[in-house]
Amino acid sequence: MDKTLQDFRSRIIELGYSYFFAKALLAAVKLDLFNRLGESALTAREMASKTSCNPRAMGLLLNALVGMKVLGKRGIRYFNTPLTREVLIRGRGRFQTCPYYIGDILNFHNNLWEGWGRLEESLRKGRPIKQHEMYLEDRAVTRSFIHAMHNTAMGHAELLARVVPLKGVKTLLDIGAGSGAFSIYFCKANPGLRATLLDLPKTLEVTREFVANYGAEKRITLLPGDYNKSLPKGFDAVFLSHIIHSEGEKENLGLMKRVYECLNPGGRIMVQDFILKEDKANPPFASAFALNMLLYTEKGRSYSFKEIKGWLEEAGFKSISWPRLPLPRDISIVMARRGTARRAPTENPT
Ligand SMILES: C[S@@+](CC[C@H](N)C(=O)[O-])C[C@H]1O[C@@H](n2cnc3c(N)ncnc32)[C@H](O)[C@@H]1O
Same domain, 255 and 162: yes
Structural domain contains residue 15:
yes
Structural domain contains residue 101:
no
Least Cα distance to 103 among 18, 181, 28 occurs for 28
* Å from CA of 246 to ligand 1 middle: 9
Between CA 221 and CA 208 the distance in angstroms is 9
Q: What is the pLDDT of residues 277-306, one digit of tens each?
A: 999 999 999 999 999 999 999 999 999 999
pLDDT at 317 over 80: yes
Structural domain contains residue 114:
no
Closest atom, ligand 1, to C-alpha of 228: 19
Q: What is the pLDDT of residues 333-346, one digit of tens each?
A: 999 999 886 554 44
Domain CATH code at residue 331: 3.40.50.150
Closest atom, ligand 1, to C-alpha of 245: 1
Structural domain contains residue 108:
no
For the packed helices 18-30 and 55-67, what is the interaxial angle rounded to 10 degrees?
120
Same domain, 80 and 145: no
Same domain, 68 and 181: no
Grade residue 139 by pLDDT with cuts at 50, 70 and 90. Answer: confident
Same domain, 198 and 285: yes
Structural domain contains residue 342:
no
- CB under 6 Å to ligand 1: residues? 135, 149, 153, 176-178, 199-200, 203, 225-228, 241-243
Same domain, 82 and 153: no
Same domain, 54 and 144: no
* Å from CA of 175 to ligand 1 middle: 7
Residue of 144, 145, 211, 243 to mutate, ligand 1, most atoms within 8 A of C-beta:
243
pLDDT at 262 over 80: yes
Q: What is the pLDDT of residue 342?
A: 55
Query: β-pairing, 332-337 with 263-273?
Result: antiparallel
Query: How many independent structural domains does the chain possess?
Result: 2
Nearest residue CA, atom 23 of ligand 1?
Answer: 176
Same domain, 147 and 77: no
Q: Most distant CA pair in the chain: distance in Å? A: 88
Query: β-pairing, 171-175 with 235-241?
Result: parallel
Structural domain contains residue 250:
yes
Task: Judge contact between 257 and 315, C-beta under 8 A.
Answer: yes
pLDDT at 53 over 90: yes
Q: How many residues in total does the chain contain? A: 350
Half-sphere exposure of 248 (CA within 13 A, CB side): 6
Task: Judge contact between 238 and 270, C-beta under 8 A.
Answer: yes
The mean pLDDT of 51-70, rounded to a whole number, is 98
Structural domain contains residue 133:
no
* Å from CA of 240 to ligand 1 middle: 9
Mark which of 63, 88, 113 sits at the end of a domain: 88
CA dihedral 70, 74, 80, 83 (to 10 degrees): -70
Structural domain of 50 = 3-88
Mark which of 88, 103, 120 sits at the end of a domain: 88
Domain CATH code at residue 49: 1.10.10.10
Q: What is the pLDDT of residue 131?
A: 65
For 89, other C-beta atoms within 10 Å of its C-beta total 19
